[in-house]
Amino acid sequence: MLRASLLALAVAASACASSGGRQWDQNGVDDFFDSMVDRHLEAGYEDPVLSATDATLERRMIVVTATINERTAKDVIARLLYLNRLDPAAPIDLVITTQGGWVDATFAVVDSIEAIDAPVNVWAVGGVYSAGAVILASGTGKRVAGRNAILMVHVNLTDPEADRYSSLKLERFERFWKEHARLPADWFPMTEEAAYYISPQEALELGIIDEIAERGSFP
């Protein structure tokens, strides 16, 4: 049902574009369809379920293994606020592996980490790409990568001269990375499509993390 509805929407959008003198090709329709499916399936609308008997919450731990989108951000922020309210002095451990995600949802999580009193330790496991690397670097406690983790810094912003929003996004990304790491000067300005894959040792040297996890050090 969802696929049929979105396909109908894509066809309608194509017809509208065509009537305005611009015909979408199949790639355009496919890209539109994929984007809408991603938003509908991953964003979700249900509220986070918080329970005092949740094993991870009992250990003051939050686990993220999904794309950073509206749904993920809502869940993470709710858990951060809940644990901070319980004890604003005790550390919170955020364990993350993700392929990346939406820019504004990512910085909503970052702002929440920085706003609460409880220090947030961020643990990178597996692949921590793009949006995940931003959240990792924003940790206010320890920033740790597992020895098998792979990090990736990827901004891929549009031309900052295109509009005010693009300019603000570029400013936000560059300010963040200059405050939280020591990235190479030739990675700036962050308007290229390059993806920089980083080992835990390289992440340590670049100041993205504070330490590499040792065996038995997991929270």
Q: Enumerate the active-site residues.
A: 130, 154
Residue 198 to residue 152: CA distance in whole angstroms: 6
Using CA atoms, how far apart are residues 134 and 108, in angstroms rounded to an integer? 11
CA distance 172 to 219: 31
Which two tokens mark 26? 């199949």
Cα–Cα distances in angstroms (integers) from residue 52 to residues 49, 65, 82, 93, 154, in the given order: 10, 21, 10, 17, 37
Supply 204's token pair. 């340590």
Of 146, 151, 149, nearest to 219 (Cα)? 146
- The dihedral region occupied by 206, where left means phi > 0, alpha psi between -120 and 50, and beta the remainder, is alpha
